[in-house]
Amino acid sequence: MKIAVVGGGNRCRNLLDLIEKHSFSEISPKIVAVADKKDDAPGLVKARENGLFVTNDYNDLFDRDDIDLIMELTGDQDVFNEILKKKKKTVRAVAHWIINFLYEISVALNSQVLAKQRLKEQRARCDVIMNVAINEKVMVISPDYRIIDANENLLKKAGLRRDQAIGRYCYEVSHNLDAPCSGERSPCPLPQAIKTKKPSQTTHIHTDKDNNELFFSVSCYPVFEDGKVIGVVGISRDITKDVNIQKLMVQQDRLASIGRLAAGVAHEINNPMTTILTSVMLMQEDTDPNDPNYQELKTIVDETLRCSKIVTSLLDFARQMKPAKKMSNPTDIIAECIVLTKKQAEFNDVVIVENLSEDLPLTNIDGDKIQQALINLTLNAIEATGPGGKVTLSAKFVPNNETFEITICDSGTGISDKDIDKIFDPFFTTKENGTGLGLAITLGIIEQHGGTIDVKSKLGQGTSFTIRLPLDQGNKDVHSL
Ligand SMILES: Nc1ncnc2c1ncn2[C@@H]1O[C@H](COP(=O)(O)OP(=O)(O)OP(=O)(O)O)[C@@H](O)[C@H]1O
Ligand SMILES: [Mg+2]
């Protein structure tokens, strides 16, 4: 199709370019002539350069035989009307507005094709991100916490199909909550990521059905469109193993330092203690058993022996030596602990209350060590309780999970939130003459028995420590043969 253009402006030049470069499938258009009043009109200049017929008077076009179509690009309706009047019958004509209209349609179609293509590419990229990170739970979330997309891993854990998850709130699907995650143990990183337009990370601490702590690293990465944050990619990763390894390393570090200290101190303490012990034993030999001092001397001997044992235990603990277990009666051990701490309680004007179940079964434990742990806790409780206060020791057997629960509860000062995470650290003390080893040793002993120790405290109201020891039947079965 041979075309003559009336109006040699920019649009004419663009048309010349387009026809030159584009390969048409059904028609093969060719511009053969351009008319414009101005000699320097860009379309006319280009046509001249290309060796086409050019003229300043469009009337020159009507006599030519090599034209099938005249395009009017001047934008002047009168010019188009004149073309219609003067052109040969076999020649067709189109007005500028039809060409504008066709041009706009082609631009719109083009941008639709491009947008579809872009969407396809984005979707493919997203699919890779969403489904490659198989160990992580991944969601794309809008700023109002609605799920835009989620990966297979998350959907599997939530027991949902993708279409069931999309549109629901992220906290509903991932945490079964009816409001966004919050609080110290599960802070939400989304608002921070939206506000700062930067990635934000928090750690969630949850507990499983056995009361074990599980740690999750939760990160939000902002997603931008035209410079605006339109949502975030939220990634949740289970980091419990990493945290536990880290804790173990810190614990081992502490143990190593206690070990070094204990080894040095034990030698120095044992010598004077042996001197005290022999002197007191000699004095006891020279004292009549009916003498009131005889009993006091016996207490000094017993307590010095206990000190000596504590030094040994400290060394055991530092070296993580195995406890010497034998079948023991927990009721006896607790009763003995009360006897040994009663004097200290009386001195502080604190009442010790026993609340022991009678049917505690025998268990395979190192009675001396457990007693030492209970004495540490009871002394702490007495020391934290003012005159007129109360310390309660209770013990019960929980048949469901086969554990002993021993609780030492006091009406004392309580522990501040700032301190509570540190009380089991070796050498942490708030007392003028404390070593800060009591709870570290206690924790070591309980852990060596496969048990746990929990603390609950309210400042000004009191503290309660709960030890949970698994029932260990030892070689009971061998006895019953
Ligand atoms: N029942 C309690 N009430 C209030 N605070 C307590 C209680 N038990 C422990 N604590 C706090 O924990 C800290 C550490 O206790 P831990 O038994 O390890 O050492 P200590 O008692 O300070 O020293 P030591 O045991 O050598 O006398 C205490 O200093 C105290 O601040
Ligand atoms: Mg103590």
| Residue ranges per structural domain of the chain | 2-94, 134-238, 241-321, 323-479
- Could you read off the pLDDT of 328-376 as tens digits, one per residue? 988 899 999 998 899 889 999 999 999 988 778 899 999 988 998 999 9
What gap in Å lies between CA 304 and CA 280, rounded to an integer? 10
> What average pLDDT does range 458-469 have in this prediction?
95
- Give, using CA atoms, the residue closest to atom 31 of ligand 1: 430
- Supply the pLDDT for residue 255: 65
* 8 A C-beta contact, residue 4 and residue 70: yes
- Banded pLDDT at 78 (limits 50, 70, 90): very high
* 8 A C-beta contact, residue 204 and residue 186: yes
C-alpha angle with apex 153: 152 to 159, nearest 5 degrees?
A: 85
> What average pLDDT does range 66-90 have in this prediction?
92
465: pLDDT strictly greater than 80 = yes
Classify residue 18 as left (phi > 0), alpha (psi -120 to 50) or beta: alpha
- Supply the pLDDT for residue 134: 63
* 8 A C-beta contact, residue 234 and residue 223: no
What gap in Å lies between CA 106 and CA 129, rounded to an integer? 35
Structure tokens at 283: 């004095």
Integer CA distances (angstroms), 48 to 1, 37, 44, in order: 20, 14, 6
Ligand 2 midpoint to CA 444 (Å): 14
Query: In the CATH hierarchy, which top-level class contains the domain 134-238?
Result: alpha beta
Structure tokens at 460: 């000004």
Superfamily for the 323-479 domain: Histidine kinase-like ATPase, C-terminal domain (3.30.565.10)
- What CATH architecture is 241-321? Orthogonal Bundle (1.10)
* 8 A C-beta contact, residue 27 and residue 92: no
Query: In the CATH hierarchy, which top-level class contains the domain 2-94?
Result: alpha beta
Ligand 1 midpoint to CA 386 (Å): 15
Closest ligand 1 atom to 413 CA? 4
* 8 A C-beta contact, residue 165 and residue 151: no
Q: Please provide the DSSP assignment of 75-101 as one string.
A: --HHHHHHHHHHS-TT-EEE-HHHHHH
- Give, using CA atoms, the residue closest to atom 9 of ligand 1: 380
- Supply the pLDDT for residue 478: 35
- Banded pLDDT at 266 (limits 50, 70, 90): confident
With a Cβ cut-off of 6 Å, ligand 1 is lined by 376, 380-381, 384, 410, 412-413, 415, 423, 428-431, 434-440, 463
- Could you read off the pLDDT of 172-197 as tens digits, one per residue? 999 989 999 999 999 999 999 999 99
What gap in Å lies between CA 286 and CA 294, rounded to an integer? 9
What gap in Å lies between CA 448 and CA 278, rounded to an integer? 33
> What average pLDDT does range 231-258 have in this prediction?
82
Q: Is the dihedral of CA 298, 300, 301, 303 positive or negative?
A: positive
430: pLDDT strictly greater than 80 = yes
* 8 A C-beta contact, residue 43 and residue 34: yes
Ligand 2 midpoint to CA 397 (Å): 26
Tell me, yes or no, if the two domains 134-238 and 241-321 fold the same way.
no
Ligand 1 midpoint to CA 14 (Å): 87
Q: Is the dihedral of CA 374, 380, 384, 387 positive or negative?
A: positive
- Any idea what DSSP says for residue 61? G
Structure tokens at 136: 């992580």
**Residues 123, 129, 130, 136, Cα dihedral to 10°:** -170
How much is the pTM?
0.46
Beta bridge partners of 236: 137, 218
477: pLDDT strictly greater than 50 = no
- Supply the pLDDT for residue 408: 97
